[in-house]
Amino acid sequence: MPDYRAPGVFIEEAPVARAIAAVPRSTCLFLGPVRADPAAPRGALPLLDSAGAFAALHGGDAGPASGGSVKAHLLAHAVRAYFAEGGERLYVLPVTAAEGGAPQLADYARALATAAVPDEVGVLAAPGASAWCSDIGGLHRLLADAADEARARRFAVLDAPPDATPAQAAALADALDAGRAALYYPWVASAGADGVRRLLPPSGFVCGLYARVERERGLHRAPAERLHTAAGLAYPLDRAQQEVLNPRRVNCIRQFPGRGILVHGARTLSSSPEWKYVSLRRFVDQIELSVATGLPWVAFEPNGPALWQRVRSAVGDFLHAQWRAGALQGAKPDQAMFVRCDAATMTQQDLDEGRLVCLAGVALVKPGEFTRLRWSWRTA
């Protein structure tokens, strides 16, 4: 404290913890064939904010895609479904078949390897690919690996083939163990701008639902709600079939009387109980990205108690906001989280090498997937 010797008003500048904001994770990247368009921009992928923006760049959702062998322009229809279900920000990565016809696994791999995927992309999908790709399992692995790439923290939304049976969908899920991917089944019927009823890959609808749930309810909420634009299903599932598919990590889309068509599953393809649910994996990724993005100012600050206090305050305030939003368990903040950043979290070697170590923990809220109601009656 300064030594004040005469009366007066004194101003002291004190460092404050800069607020950490939640990083949105609903921006989506679709991969697939588009119409040849010489006017299409090269270099950075353009951000699309509507189906009209996609149509202006690549053509509308009627007619065949490039190559001529794809009967319906499924990617364009998926783009329309994405925005209709609540999506707002979309990138489209064109995929061209090296040998003509419909693109295959190697074509999708080449497109991902040569493109600079924007950092803001949080969700990946290849709508329609399961209708023409000969190696569906390989395509699923490619997307899951791209989502799981170091520091990317993205999530892959996968489709089963349009004519897949429940057993075939389950086999696809069994073949892939991935914490940042989820499989949806079956395909969804929808009427396009021309009024024609078509079967479309579920990933377009589901990615839009992801964006809607994140915006309206928070990323910690399970993306399992009604599809507003669905008009039917390729394979009407019943409860008995879902009781088989759900434990095998297939997210079923079902029609319920009076409720419409719902995404009625929210499981990842991970065999680890820790990462069973889509909402948990994506929410934890958001926390980690938000903290990493919100603390760049730490890099060249003196690594001492004053800085540690500012880091604790910044991270603690961010996690406290998540608790107030209902994303964390606990009746009190100290039951929901802890943040440590002090001499006990760092060794002398850490300090000598310029490393600041912050240890944090959160108590996550899991979806109420199975709700049991116990009733009792008393007779006279």
Distance between CA 153 and CA 285 in Å, rounded?
6
| pLDDT at 35 (0 to 100) | 76
For the chain, what are the domain ranges? 28-281, 295-380
Tokens 């850490």 correspond to what residue?
350
Contacts of 303 (CB under 8 A, 6+ apart): 351, 354, 356
* Surface-to-core class of residue 13, CB atoms within 10 Å of its CB (0-12 exposed, 13-18 middle, 19+ buried): exposed
Positive/negative CA dihedral, 237, 242, 246, 249: negative
| pLDDT at 59 (0 to 100) | 78
Q: What is the DSSP string of 43-92?
A: SSPPPB-SHHHHHHHH--SSS--TTS--SS-HHHHHHHHHHHTT---EEE
CATH class of residue range 28-281: alpha beta
Distance between CA 328 and CA 237 in Å, rounded?
33
pLDDT tens track, the chain, 380 positions: 567 778 877 666 655 567 899 999 999 999 999 875 544 446 689 999 999 999 998 877 665 444 444 444 899 999 999 999 999 999 999 998 888 788 999 999 999 999 999 999 999 999 999 999 999 999 999 999 999 998 889 999 999 999 999 999 999 999 999 999 999 999 999 976 667 788 999 999 999 999 999 999 999 999 999 999 999 999 999 999 999 999 999 999 999 999 999 999 999 999 999 999 999 999 999 999 999 999 999 988 999 999 999 999 999 999 999 999 999 999 999 999 999 999 999 999 999 998 999 999 999 998 877 766 677 677 65
For 242, phi then psi, to 5°, come to -70, -30
Distance between CA 84 and CA 75 in Å, rounded?
14
| pLDDT at 260 (0 to 100) | 95
| pLDDT at 133 (0 to 100) | 95
Distance between CA 142 and CA 256 in Å, rounded?
34
Question: Is 121 within 8 Å of 154 (Cβ atoms)?
Answer: yes
Distance between CA 103 and CA 97 in Å, rounded?
4
Distance between terminal CA atoms of the chain?
Answer: 75
DSSP lists the bridge partners of residue 155 as: 123
Helix, strand or coil, per DSSP, at residue 185: strand
Give which of 59, 57, 30 is closest to 157, Cα–Cα: 30
Segment holding 191, helix H or strand E: strand 188-191
Give which of 41, 65, 61, 63 is closest to 51, Cα–Cα: 61
Output the pTM of the full model: 0.90
| pLDDT at 348 (0 to 100) | 92
Distance between CA 323 and CA 246 in Å, rounded?
29
